[in-house]
Amino acid sequence: MTKTRIQNLNIRYYTPSPPNPILNLIHMDRGSSLDDDTSVHLQINELRKLSETCGSNTIFEPQSSCEARECNAESVPSAPVLRAPEKKLTLFALRLSIFEKSATGLGTLGFIWATVVLLGGFAITLDKTDFWFITIILLIEGTRIFSRSHELEWQHQATWSITDAGISSFRALRSSSHILIKAVKQTFNPLSLIRKPSHNTREVTQVDPLHVGRWNHSRTPTRTWISSDVPLLPYGKWVFLSRNISKVLYWLQLLSATACVVLSSTRLVNHNYGEVQKGDSDKRNRQSALNIFYALALAEALLFLTEKAYWEWKVIYCKLLEEVNKECELGPSGMVSIKRFFYDAYSRCVNGSIFDGLKMDMVTFAIDLLASSSPDEQLIGARILRQFAISARYSDDTLQKIGVNLSVVERLVEMLNWKDPQEEEIRKSAAEILSKLAGKRQNCLRVAGIPGAMESISSLLQTNRSSGNGADEIGEKNLILDHANYSFWTFNHLGLLILKKLACDHDNCGKIGNTRGLLPKIIDFTHAGEKLLRDKNVEPSQILTVKRSLQLVQLLASTTGATGKHLRKEISEVVFTISNIRDILRHGEKHPTLQKLSIEILTNLALEEGARERIGGTGGVLKELFTIFLNQGMPEHQNQVRRSAGEALAMLALESRANCHRILRLQVLERLISALEFPMLRVTAARILRNLCTYCGSDCFYILKGVIAAAPTVLKAIMSEENKLQEVMVGLAAQVFKHMTSNESSIMFERVGIKEEELAKALVQILEKYRHPSAKVLRIRRFTMELAIWMMHDNVKNIYILKDLGMKKELEGVLETTAELESFNIFSATVGLSRHTTTIHSLVETALNLLKDQ
């Protein structure tokens, strides 16, 4: 992709351009940066961001709504309030209009003076020379004054076609007077002939042929004329094109004013108006009347020439338009927009109040153009809004103005459906603006609330899956690459980015799920084969596509409430979902970020029983998860991936006898017991082992006999650790000790060097510490009572020990402070799922009965 093409996609035009235009979309997604996907440093940063976003909360703990749904909403760093660059143009237009209106007022006064006083009162007594001088001046100035507004109209019309004007910027549209001025400058400064071309000159000459080709393919109205291309006469078409007439009128204005200065000055200098005879009362005021007329004509012409000089000084020497264009970051093509804006402001100042132009700004100007029926005006408006929306300096104000204007948002959404190749840039600009708009939480619902918005966004995603030959077949997915005249891949990125930002809102997730055909499209983009994942030279854009689709699916799968339940069911029922994730787990060792997102999707889908069985029943998923979880050779910065894999396995084993059996067939029990020694894996390994012991069933009792090897590690952790680790170890102990006989448990206590009295005391202390349920260790009281019940069943002596330590009092206190919080295994935000089969009250009553009976 060539230079100008890249520049059109840059967030900041004056920053170095990435080698691929898709990388600009990567920069737009502040939550992802894939300039070099193989960079270890980059993977560390991405995983750190993920870990910071997720924190330490899991689905095994209740979370507040803000914690449960933390999204990468667009948060542009707050920049200092800057003066709008277009204010320079509106101020320039105001000053020009003051000159213009002053000159026009003097000209009108001179015209009235000449017609009423001179030609009306002294027509007969005027000398022949003065008569013709006055007549010529009146004709020249009258024509100039009354044609001035028409000149502005022609100049304004000359900016309507960007096909010719846009490529070489405003410099190519300047009138031939600029050439004359440059020639004069070179005459007085010969060194300028050998001076290196300026930066602005390079901007004009270095035009990308591909970009020019796409510009020239800008759609033009087929049934109406473009005003700038209208041939006013059948002959001499070039001269009489409307965009050239403005140049003719410009020169006529200058010549007429110059002639007026020469004629008026000549008469005022000569001061020869003829002799006045004594007593000739008809001629006695003629000299004063002529002086006043010539002075008015001279002042009016000088004011006009001063206006033109000021115009040329600001535009050519000070390069005001280029300066404003640079500050607006619109690039070479933006000169057309700047010129158009200036002429609009100037026309308002001239035709109405001089302050009317001050009310204009670039954003409102672009919004008005966006609603136009002219393709050129639509493109100008889209370009301005896009550049301002992605600019760190102007985005806040721009997005605020767009967001509160529902008609503009509707127009942008409508443009997403424009699939004509000639409208590609307009469609792309609209998509980029909406991607920024959707990143603002206050605008998120507005965008999704527009009727047909989701369908329009879905139209950006291009995945061709051929239809099968029958109901027993599924068509193959065909990869759509960029065409020479259309960037399909860019629109895929933008569509996924918009959906990802919209999915940060719970209500929008439901709308995404209810949009026909959208979920299968999104899941198709999660496919990444072995070749793609292991290729060192893979395009970052391809990895970005997979990453964004995974992020979107993860957001949808983590939705809470009835909407989340429905979405998880819909996602898991798409036959490619789990197999696509399996491929990433199997071949994605170079892309830990993708693996972590994939694992989080599995964890969230496993909240539903049906999805849990589908995941476990898909060949290789459990094996790949264990490969990641137990892989000691993984770099330290990928520990988050290993921890996520452990949580997914714990979820899949929860209340699923079939999955527990599948895990046992993998023969990983010994490695799980060994994982209890590693601080990073201890919590998740303990959860997996507890679920295996709890849900495998009695037929696996002897297979699980080997879990008693974990007893010493578990017992030491109970006595020395606290908080989360202590909780899971107490829970695991309650299950592990069930596989031991009284004799085996006594031997184990002796070997570890911990007495049963010490364990009993630790359990009582836990209940004393957690007199009320804690959201961080909400199962610790339940697990403590389960372990205490086992101890009392295992050895009668333990009943006396626990009674003497005050266990009865603590159990009675638990009865008074039980909460619904303690009744669930897992949570979706603050909603409990998977209720425990045994209630807290039942456990307390069982323990109290054991103490009482004894």
Q: Are 445 and 435 in contact (CB under 8 A)?
A: no
Q: Please state, in angstroms and rounded to a whole number, the distance separating the CA atoms of residues 220 and 163.
A: 9
- How many C-beta neighbours within 10 Å does residue 116 have? 10
Q: What angle do CA 606, 654, 712 make, to 5 degrees?
A: 135
| Segments making up each domain of the chain, as ranges | 84-162+241-271+284-359, 361-448, 755-853
pLDDT tens-digit series, residues 125-165 = 566 777 777 778 777 776 666 655 555 555 555 554 443 33
Nearest-10 Cα torsion for 568, 571, 573, 579: -120
Q: Are 733 and 782 in contact (CB under 8 A)?
A: no
Amino acid at 209: P
Question: Does the structure show a pLDDT above 60 at 376?
Answer: yes
Query: Which among 2-11, 343-352, 609-618 has the top mean pLDDT?
Result: 609-618
pLDDT at residue 611, as a whole number: 93
The tokens for 267 are 């008469």
Question: Does the structure show a pLDDT above 80 at 639?
Answer: yes
Question: Does the structure show a pLDDT above 60 at 357?
Answer: yes
Question: Does the structure show a pLDDT above 90 at 566?
Answer: yes
- How many C-beta neighbours within 10 Å does residue 618 have? 16
Q: Are 366 and 379 in contact (CB under 8 A)?
A: no
Nearest to 645 by CA among 672, 617, 677, 670: 672
Q: Mean of the pLDDT values across residues 274-295?
A: 67
pLDDT tens-digit series, residues 569-625 = 999 999 999 999 999 999 988 899 999 999 999 999 999 999 999 999 998 999 999
Q: Please state, in angstroms and rounded to a whole number, the distance separating the CA atoms of residues 844 and 26.
A: 56
pLDDT at residue 295, as a whole number: 87
**Residue position matching structure tokens 């007022």:** 105
Q: Please state, in angstroms and rounded to a whole number, the distance separating the CA atoms of residues 55 and 178.
A: 63
The tokens for 742 are 């009284």
Contacts of 381 (CB under 8 A, 6+ apart): 365, 366, 367, 368, 369, 370, 371, 372
Question: Does the structure show a pLDDT above 50 at 194?
Answer: no
pLDDT at residue 512, as a whole number: 93
Task: Kindly tell me the burial class for residue 204, based on how many C-beta atoms sit within 10 Å of its own C-beta (0-12, 13-18, 19 or more).
Answer: middle
Q: What angle do CA 780, 62, 613 make, to 5 degrees?
A: 90
Q: Which helix (H) or strand (E) holds 274?
A: none
Nearest to 426 by CA among 382, 485, 487, 384: 382
Nearest to 290 by CA among 103, 122, 107: 122
CA 69 to centroid of chain Cα atoms: 18
Q: Please state, in angstroms and rounded to a whole number, the distance separating the CA atoms of residues 7 and 330.
A: 10
The tokens for 438 are 């959707």
The sign one gets for the Cα dihedral 826, 832, 833, 834 is positive
Share of the chain above pLDDT 90, in %: 29
**Residue position matching structure tokens 């003719």:** 248
Q: Per-residue DSSP letters for 432-501?
A: HHHHHHHTSHHHHHHHHHSTTHHHHHHTT---EEPPPSSTT--PPEE--PPBTTB-HHHHHHHHHHHHHH
Nearest to 747 by CA among 708, 798, 784, 718: 708
Nearest to 829 by CA among 560, 599, 541, 598: 560
For the whole model, what pTM was predicted? 0.78
Question: Does the structure show a pLDDT above 60 at 535?
Answer: yes
- How many C-beta neighbours within 10 Å does residue 346 have? 23
Amino acid at 388: F
pLDDT at residue 410, as a whole number: 93
Q: Which residues pair with 231 in a beta bridge?
A: 241
Query: When comparing pLDDT for 268 and 817, which is higher?
Result: 817
Question: Does the structure show a pLDDT above 70 at 28?
Answer: no
pLDDT at residue 227, as a whole number: 56
Question: Does the structure show a pLDDT above 60 at 309?
Answer: yes
Q: Do β-strands 831-835 and 464-465 pair in parallel, antiparallel, or remain unpaired? A: unpaired
Q: Please state, in angstroms and rounded to a whole number, the distance separating the CA atoms of residues 461 and 558.
A: 23
DSSP 462: -
Q: Mean of the pLDDT values across residues 480-501?
A: 79
Question: Does the structure show a pLDDT above 50 at 846?
Answer: yes
pLDDT tens-digit series, residues 705-750 = 888 899 999 999 999 888 889 999 999 998 998 888 888 888 888 8
Contacts of 365 (CB under 8 A, 6+ apart): 341, 344, 381, 384
For the chain, give the number of residues: 854
User: Which of 128-142, 265-279, 292-306, 831-845 has the weakest average pLDDT?
Assistant: 265-279
Q: Mean of the pLDDT values across residues 627-642?
A: 88
Alpha helices (H) along 319-440: 320-328, 334-351, 362-370, 375-390, 395-403, 406-415, 424-438
CA 384 to centroid of chain Cα atoms: 17
Q: Are 688 and 650 in contact (CB under 8 A)?
A: yes
User: Which of 30-34, 734-738, 838-842 has the weakest average pLDDT?
Assistant: 30-34
Nearest to 74 by CA among 602, 582, 444: 444
Q: Please state, in angstroms and rounded to a whole number, the distance separating the CA atoms of residues 442 and 446.
A: 8
Rounded to 5 degrees, φ, ψ at 70 are -95, 115
pLDDT tens-digit series, residues 543-554 = 999 999 999 999
The number of CA neighbours under 13 Å toward the Cβ of 255 is: 9
Q: Please state, in angstroms and rounded to a whole number, the distance separating the CA atoms of residues 680 and 712.
A: 19
Q: Which helix (H) or strand (E) holds 103?
A: helix 86-112
Computed on alpha carbons and rounded to an integer, the radius of gyration of the chain in Å comes to 40
pLDDT at residue 215, as a whole number: 40
pLDDT at residue 626, as a whole number: 94
- Mean residue pLDDT across the chain: 77
pLDDT at residue 692, as a whole number: 92
170 pLDDT band, cuts 50/70/90, is: very low
pLDDT at residue 282, as a whole number: 54
User: Which of 27-36, 485-494, 583-592, 802-811 has the weakest average pLDDT?
Assistant: 27-36
Nearest to 489 by CA among 480, 477, 497: 480
pLDDT at residue 853, as a whole number: 67
pLDDT at residue 243, as a whole number: 56
476 pLDDT band, cuts 50/70/90, is: low
The sign one gets for the Cα dihedral 345, 351, 355, 360 is negative
Largest CA distance in the chain: 150
pLDDT at residue 454, as a whole number: 93
Dump strand ranges (E) for 763-837.
824-828, 831-835
Q: Please state, in angstroms and rounded to a whole number, the distance separating the CA atoms of residues 133 and 190.
A: 41
216 pLDDT band, cuts 50/70/90, is: very low
Q: Are 17 and 27 in contact (CB under 8 A)?
A: no
Q: Are 143 and 253 in contact (CB under 8 A)?
A: no
CATH of domain 361-448: 1.25.10
pLDDT at residue 37, as a whole number: 38
Share of the chain above pLDDT 70, in %: 72
